[in-house]
A and B are shown apart, each in its own frame.
Chain A
Amino acid sequence: MKLRFFLAALPFVGMYSGGALAEHLPILFGMPFLLSWNLIWMAGTAAVLALILHLDTRAEAMNAESESGAQR
């Protein structure tokens, strides 16, 4: 559970650090820093959420298994 909340915090840290970082590095990959940065974190958010979904699905499958095991 703790791992999931740690993962969920990452996009917030990423998106909020962008503005401050942009003051020092105006351009990244030929685009304004904040545009590239936000795009990277957009993909990062999707990846983080996919990972959390994977963890949840696995945990639920294990729960279901142990429950059906207990019934037997």
Chain B
Amino acid sequence: MNAALIVITLFAASALGLGLLARRGKKLSLEQWAVGGRGFGSLLTFLLMAGEAFSTFTFLGASGWTYSKGIPAFYILSYGCLAYVIGYWMLPAIWRYAKERNLVSFADYFASRYDSRGVGVLVSVVAVLAMVSLLIIQLRGLGVIVSEMSYGSIPPAAAIWISAILMAVYMTVSGIHGSASIAVVKDVLILALAIFLGIYLPLHYYGGIGAMFARIDEVHPELLRMPEHGLNLSWYNSTILLTSLGYYLYPHGFTAVYVARDAKVLRRNVVMMPIYQVLIAFLFLVGYAAALTVHGLEGPQTDLALLRLVKQSFAPWFVGVVGGAGLLTALVPGSLIMLNASTTIARNVYREGFARHATEKQVARVARIALPLFTLVVVYFTLIGGATFVTLAIFASSLLTQLVPMLAASFLKRPFGTREAAFGGIGAGAIVLVLVNWRGVTLSSLFPHAPEAFTSINPGLVALLVNAAVFIAISAAQRSLRARMATPVQSS
């Protein structure tokens, strides 16, 4: 039994305690359970939205990418800021619409806007599959963090089982209130740790931030230059565009908007969110500090850069604190994903597909049964595999961004997009993604003589542009067709 293990266990136990206590004094209807009765003020809404945005990917990925790739990683700091500018207008519009129609799930929004069960089913299927892969990512990250930071005394599989059960228990009992109360602790802790590590580690190993970069410039100058090939400037710029447009299309982030008490809360939040991103800059500094001090990490292992450097630099109890913080970083988004998957299953699959006359109470019961079942299925795929299904789930998560044209068209004052166009656009985007992922088609194989600035564009953005073009073309064609059919009737 080492000190780190004790600290991590304490973190897990407190998370469970906090999550369960969050239930106190609340009668949980579906609306209360899933979106907190739409009564959350600025702080809690902020923490939930931040909880979604700053997951294990930020914790391990931001530092790991900097460690292995250098400059291109900085896109992670840019896209959020641009997304918040869009969000300033978009989020209040989504919130008002959701409030008027008592929407609870991600798919509800699209089904209602396009007045189509088909669209609802399409979005729910994509969303549930995508959430499987998103939860797998959180659980895998969590397994890595806990096993590394407990010096191997808790194997990843045990960590995944224990934390999945913890989440399922407190989420079934408390719903969104469980995530919210843990998010408070997690955010304070992760912010303090990132700032501390980002300042202390460069100071300790190099004598300062400036000195660190001077040293890296001598040994690994490529980490301080934008590459000319591969992840180059066009990749960087196109990835910022793609990720900022798709920022709000994660089901659990989208529904975090529903919990707000009023639209003002959301506008105030997007003003604060860019400042919170400073956290990512400190994680970049940790990644750079690891560049010359942590050796031998390659491929997917580079995600371990931060953890290895912490282990190398601090006493076990502090390693435990970082491990505990990493655990909470996975628990908050992980539990939000579970909650959203189960409300989607209950509202959009069970009620729309099988029981159209089910009462709110029955739907709520189904949601609370679906949550542990969904968790069990995801843990199974995380640990045992099922490669085809996992590939499908990852593919679904890349499809989420393909909902951008549908979402954008839903804000137009004069309705433009149609459900046929929605299907067509998403289909076209999906075909492009399939060609890229499984047929090895790239922009450079299609246009061998095009300049690299063009061929390095992120393929996800290409899929999105094809999708948008098809969406607009079909909608416009249907509109002119309808106008033509309507005219003779009027003239007669």
Q: Do the two shown chains form a genuine complex with each other? A: yes
Is A50 touching B271 in the complex (CB atoms < 8 A)?
yes
Is A49 touching B271 in the complex (CB atoms < 8 A)?
yes
Is B88 touching A49 in the complex (CB atoms < 8 A)?
yes
B170 within 8 A of A: no
User: What A residues does B237 contact at CB under 8 A?
Assistant: 16, 19
How does the 8 Å CB contact mask read for A18-41 relative to B, with 1 for contact and 0 for none?
111011001100111011001101
How many Å lie between the Cα of A29 and that of B489 in the bound state?
70
Is A32 touching B213 in the complex (CB atoms < 8 A)?
yes
How many Å lie between the Cα of A12 and that of B79 in the bound state?
10
User: What B residues does A19 contact at CB under 8 A?
Assistant: 226, 233, 236-237
Query: CB-nearest residue of chain A relative to B267?
Result: A53
Is B284 touching A11 in the complex (CB atoms < 8 A)?
no
Min CB gap B110→A, angstroms: 25
How many Å lie between the Cα of A35 and that of B75 in the bound state?
10
Is B82 touching A11 in the complex (CB atoms < 8 A)?
yes
Q: Which of B77, B213, B233, B275 contacts A31 (CB 8 A)?
A: B213
Is B271 touching A34 in the complex (CB atoms < 8 A)?
no
User: What B residues does A20 contact at CB under 8 A?
Assistant: 233
Is B71 touching A43 in the complex (CB atoms < 8 A)?
no
How many Å lie between the Cα of A35 and that of B351 in the bound state?
49
User: What B residues does A42 contact at CB under 8 A?
Assistant: 77, 81, 274-275, 277-278, 281
Is B71 touching A32 in the complex (CB atoms < 8 A)?
yes
How does the 8 Å CB contact mask read for B237-251 relative to A, with 1 for contact and 0 for none?
100100000000000
Given that A15-B81, A38-B74, A42-B274 are contacting pairs, would A30 and B268 also be in contact in the complex, using a CB cutoff of 8 Å?
A: no
Min CB gap B262→A, angstroms: 13
Is B84 touching A49 in the complex (CB atoms < 8 A)?
yes
Min CB gap B239→A, angstroms: 11
How many Å lie between the Cα of A53 and that of B71 in the bound state?
33
User: What B residues does A53 contact at CB under 8 A?
Assistant: 88, 267-268, 271
Q: Which of B174-228 contact A (CB under 8 A)?
A: 209-210, 213, 224-226
How many Å lie between the Cα of A26 and that of B216 in the bound state?
13
Min CB gap B58→A, angstroms: 15
Given that A22-B226, A42-B275 are contacting pairs, would A49 and B85 also be in contact in the complex, using a CB cutoff of 8 Å?
A: yes
A65 within 8 A of B: no
Min CB gap A40→B, angstroms: 11
User: What A residues does B267 contact at CB under 8 A?
Assistant: 53, 56
User: What B residues does A50 contact at CB under 8 A?
Assistant: 271
User: What A residues does B233 contact at CB under 8 A?
Assistant: 19-20, 23
Min CB gap B227→A, angstroms: 12
Interface size in chain A (residues, C-beta < 8 A): 30
Is B209 touching A46 in the complex (CB atoms < 8 A)?
no
Is A27 touching B213 in the complex (CB atoms < 8 A)?
yes
Which secondary structure dominates chain B's binding surface? helix
Query: CB-nearest residue of chain B relative to A10?
Result: B85
Is A30 touching B210 in the complex (CB atoms < 8 A)?
yes
Is B74 touching A11 in the complex (CB atoms < 8 A)?
no
B272 within 8 A of A: yes
B433 within 8 A of A: no
Is B85 touching A45 in the complex (CB atoms < 8 A)?
yes
How many Å lie between the Cα of A45 and that of B82 in the bound state?
8
How many Å lie between the Cα of A49 and that of B281 in the bound state?
20
User: What B residues does A15 contact at CB under 8 A?
Assistant: 78, 81-82, 240
Is A49 touching B71 in the complex (CB atoms < 8 A)?
no
How many Å lie between the Cα of A31 and that of B202 in the bound state?
12
How many Å lie between the Cα of A27 and that of B223 in the bound state?
13
B127 within 8 A of A: no
Q: Which of B408-422 contact A (CB under 8 A)?
A: none
How many Å lie between the Cα of A71 and that of B81 in the bound state?
41
Min CB gap A61→B, angstroms: 12
Min CB gap A47→B, angstroms: 9
User: What A residues does B270 contact at CB under 8 A?
Assistant: 49
Given that A32-B224, A34-B74 are contacting pairs, would A52 and B88 also be in contact in the complex, using a CB cutoff of 8 Å?
A: yes
**B71, B78, B267 — most chain A CB neighbours (10 Å):** B78
Is A12 touching B226 in the complex (CB atoms < 8 A)?
no
Given that A26-B225, A31-B213 are contacting pairs, would A46 and B240 also be in contact in the complex, using a CB cutoff of 8 Å?
A: no
A38-B281, A39-B278 known; 9 new pairs, CB 8 Å cut-off, are: A11-B81, A15-B81, A20-B233, A41-B78, A45-B82, A49-B84, A49-B270, A53-B88, A56-B267
The 6 closest A-B pairs by CB, nearest first: A30-B210, A45-B81, A46-B274, A45-B274, A49-B271, A15-B78
Between-chain CB contacts (< 8 Å), 10 pairs = A12-B85, A15-B78, A15-B240, A19-B233, A27-B213, A34-B71, A35-B284, A39-B77, A42-B281, A53-B267
